[in-house]
């Protein structure tokens, strides 16, 4: 049975027309007529109506030839393979555009979050506590009070079933560090030579998760790694998941609340957690200065 293309060839030859002449009447190229006749392209209905008029073949007869061509798998594939490739190309373009939009969205979101956090780079009067746990067991803690250039820092190490604690006071105004022994109520005075990590209250900011600190971040790299940003109305937090790291931030002030890191070694998984407790504007002068009854050793 004749295909759609066969019908055009027969009708054109019956009218004594070459492909060029027929193409001129149709207002298309000779190559397009050739594709119709080879069944590698299908004209739109408007063109089919014009073919029907020029060749004096009913639309029903033209299309009945096409239906029979569809019943032949080889002919059907020939006609539709190009259309299929076009559809695939369009889908790929759409996917690429969606990926680029999502990548841009992640960069914008992460930039906003990092900018919000950067406000704590220089902040006066805060109490900061960070506890580090491995698989639920407390390993160490760091507690910091800061006000008007004065620090009190308590560091504890609980590893190996032993607790080691150290208390340090810093006076950035005079440039001295004081190491305190609470048992003997004495302290040693040491001159500070480098204060970059303490100036203007920046010490708290330096203890934030590295991933969210702006100057320590490559936004393109983080956006590629950023799996999702979870923002819920019910919870008072925002969760960032970056590869094997999950960071939870306070939704109101963007201060960190927790950092969970899954460490994989062979078939074992270890969960490292940093828990943060941060309060602003609650520190008193007596919290950051050595008690008056403590004696200087050197």
DSSP, collapsed to helix, strand or coil, labels residue 3 as coil
Residues 6+ apart with CB under 8 A from 195: 172, 175
Instruction: pLDDT tens for the chain, 298 residues: list them.
Output: 678 889 999 999 999 999 999 999 999 999 999 999 998 988 988 999 999 999 998 888 888 755 444 444 554 555 567 778 889 999 999 999 998 888 787 778 788 888 899 999 999 999 999 999 998 888 899 999 999 999 999 998 876 544 557 899 999 999 999 999 988 999 999 999 888 899 999 999 999 998 888 776 666 666 666 666 665 555 788 888 877 888 999 988 999 999 999 887 777 888 999 999 999 999 999 999 999 999 998 7
CA distances from 296 to 178, 180, 186, 290 (A): 9, 9, 6, 10
How many Cα neighbours within 13 Å face the side chain of 32? Answer: 14
Q: What's the predicted TM-score (pTM) here? A: 0.64
Q: Assess if CATH 2.50.20 describes domain 118-296.
A: yes
Is 286 within 8 Å of 292 (Cβ atoms)? no
CATH class of 4-71: mainly alpha
Listed in order, the ranges of the chain carrying CATH 1.10.260.40 are 4-71
CATH code 2.50.20 region(s) in the chain:
118-296
């Amino acid at each position: 049975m004749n295909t759609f293309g066969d019908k055009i060839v027969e009708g054109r030859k019956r009218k004594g027309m070459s492909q060029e002449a027929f193409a001129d009447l149709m207002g298309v190229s000779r190559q397009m007529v050739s594709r119709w006749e080879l069944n590698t392209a299908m004209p739109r209905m408007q063109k089919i109506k014009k073919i029907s008029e020029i060749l004096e073949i009913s639309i029903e007869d033209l299309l009945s030839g096409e239906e029979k061509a569809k019943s032949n798998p080889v002919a059907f594939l020939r006609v539709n393979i190009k259309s299929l490739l076009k559809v695939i190309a369009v889908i790929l373009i759409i996917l690429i555009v969606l990926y680029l939009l999502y990548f841009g969205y992640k960069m914008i979101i992460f930039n906003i979050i990092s900018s919000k956090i950067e406000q704590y780079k220089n902040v006066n009067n805060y109490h900061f506590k960070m506890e580090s746990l491995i698989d639920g067991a407390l390993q160490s803690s760091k507690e910091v009070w800061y006000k008007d250039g004065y620090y009190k820092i308590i560091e504890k190490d609980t590893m190996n079933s032993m607790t080691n604690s150290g208390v340090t006071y810093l006076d950035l105004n005079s440039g001295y560090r004081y190491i305190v022994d609470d048992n003997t109520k004495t302290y040693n005075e040491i001159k500070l030579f480098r204060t970059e990590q303490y100036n203007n209250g920046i010490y708290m900011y330096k203890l934030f998760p590295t991933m969210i600190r702006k100057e320590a971040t490559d936004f393109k790299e983080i956006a590629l790694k950023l799996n999702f940003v979870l923002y819920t109305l019910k919870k008072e937090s925002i969760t960032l998941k970056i590869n094997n790291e999950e960071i939870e931030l306070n939704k109101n002030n963007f201060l960190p609340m927790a950092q969970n890191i899954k460490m994989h070694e062979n078939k074992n998984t270890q969960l490292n957690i940093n828990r943060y407790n941060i309060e602003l504007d609650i520190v008193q002068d007596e919290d950051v200065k050595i008690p008056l009854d403590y004696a200087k050793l050197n």
